[in-house]
Structures are given as C-alpha cells and as structure tokens.
Amino acid sequence: MTTSTQIQRLAIVTGASTGIGRATAVRLAADGFHVLAGVRKRSDGDRIASSRIEPIILDVTNDEHIAALVERVAQDPAGRPLSVLVNNAGVAVNAPVEVLSLDDWRFQFDVSVFGQIALIRALLPTLLSTRGRVLNVTSVGGRVAMANFGAYSAAKFAMEAVSDSLRREVEPFGVAVVKITPGAVSTNLTESGLAAAARVTDTMTPEQRRRYAELSRAFIAQAEGFARDGVSPEHAAAVISKAVNARRPKTRYTIGRDGAMFTFMPRIVSDRLLDAMLRSQNKSLAQEKR
C-alpha cells in the first residue's frame, strides 16, 4: 500500500537492467517510492522508465558514475530524502580455482565487493542523516561455497562480512543493514554465468578438461535447473519489499526453499558431510548431461 511518506522518499536499486534488480525497482515503485534504477545501458533504462522509475547509468566500478548518483540524490528536484539503497549489482564468474585467471578473480571482486563498498561509502552520510536502510543482496553462495563457485562465493562471503560489520557500526545511529539471501532465482545471471564459464573452459589445458569434465557437466545442469525451477524475480522482489517496508527489519531474509536450507545447513552439518552431499549432488547432475 502506498503512503504519503513513501511517495516523498527515494530508493536506489543497482543492477536494475534485468532480473531481481528490475523486478525490485518495479515493486518499490508500486510501493510508492521514487526509484533511481541503476542500469548499464540507456536501452535498458528506456525499457524500465516510468513516472516513478528514473533510470540512472551506473557502473558501480566507475567513480564518476557514483559521484553523479550522489549529486543526483543531493539535488533531488522534489527534495525527497534517500531512504533505501538496494545493492543488487553483481556478476558470476564460475570455474575451478586452478583454472580461473587472477584477472577474472579481480573482476568478480571489483563488481561484487569493491563496487558495493564504494557505493555504500558514498551514500552512507546521506543514509545516516535520513536514518535509512541498506539492503545487500548476497546469495546462498555466501553461506556454502560449492565446487566451481570459488570466486563468486568468495565475493559473497566477503559481502556477508561487510554487511555484519556495517550493521554493528551504524545501527546505533538508526541505519538498518539487511542481508537478502536468494537461492535459485530464474534470471539471466545464469545465462551470463554459463557464457563466462564457457569462455574460461576454452582456456583449459587438455589435462584440466579431463580433470574437471564431470564438474563442468554438473555446473551446466545446475544452471539449467536454476533457470527452469528457480523462483521468479518478482518473488524475490516481494521479499525485498517486505524488508524495505518492515518497521523493524530482520538482519537476513532468505528467498526460496534452498535459500533457507543452505543458510541453515552449515550450522548443523560437518564440513566432511557437506562435502560428501555436494559431491553426490554433482555426480547426479553430471549424469543428466551425459
């Protein structure tokens, strides 16, 4: 339900070109916020623009883009304060640790960690003044690091730590920090992840191809399963809306049954048992692609 208070407030959603980010921008606009939707291309912005969704060209690794966004918030023509930052922008670079180049590791962290931190740091003075909230979209990969997901999970684990530290630093001053933990969501991040994995596979030596053949088949089957069986971006956006609008939000909201399961599992299962379970799952997935 829209309230007069919400209509007078701004929300920023990064990575709003597609998937969870786009659906979240639409949902928060319906909730009554004026949404500054971070997109990489003007054509993406044209597709999402509406009376309450204002596309902003935003590459979170670009300092000039971040500075322009801060200026846009400060000079809002309607005088609306910034209430919400949804850090959703991210990439998925998936390959075995042995195979993935350091440039790919750096790219994963530049977008999914350092870009998020840069945006938080730039906007935090404003959010402190408005007693706003920060929502960081992490992943079940930030709770359980599966084979082939080393770089992606490392970045998500890092954002788990950043979120916890930030929450303990700023909640005494009225800023809520919330972790959003999706499981399988049907988005085109799956497609881009498959494309990145294929590019990396092309650089493998023949020995590496043999070593990781089963793992590669399992990864493809898993990604196809995410696209086929994952919850919709709109479902994820509804959870994010709940966290945004809660009077006293929880520190974490999970999305999907697997999101809840993988968040809880490391607390009750030993590392060795979890290794065996994931190895068995990979064997079953690899069988699908034979």
| Residues annotated as catalytic (active site), given as ranges | 152
Task: Report the Cα 115 to chain-centroid distance in Å.
Answer: 12
Is the distance from CB of 44 to CB of 119 less than 8 angstroms? no
- Largest separation between any pair of C-alpha atoms in the chain: 63
- For tokens 């929450």, what's the residue? 167
How far apart are the C-alpha atoms of 172 and 185, rounded to whole Å?
A: 33
* The two three-digit tokens of residue 18, written as one number: 């597609």
How far apart are the C-alpha atoms of 197 and 202, rounded to whole Å?
A: 9
Alpha helices in the chain (DSSP H): 4-7, 19-31, 42-48, 63-74, 102-109, 115-130, 150-170, 189-201, 206-211, 213-229, 233-245, 257-268, 271-288
Q: Which residues contact 158 (CB under 8 A, 6 or more apart)?
A: 109, 113
* The two three-digit tokens of residue 122, written as one number: 């730039």
Residue 232: DSSP 8-state: P
* The two three-digit tokens of residue 115, written as one number: 């870009």
How far apart are the C-alpha atoms of 68 and 59, rounded to whole Å?
A: 11
Is the distance from CB of 278 to CB of 146 less than 8 angstroms? yes
Is the distance from CB of 208 to CB of 98 less than 8 angstroms? yes
How far apart are the C-alpha atoms of 113 and 259, rounded to whole Å?
A: 20
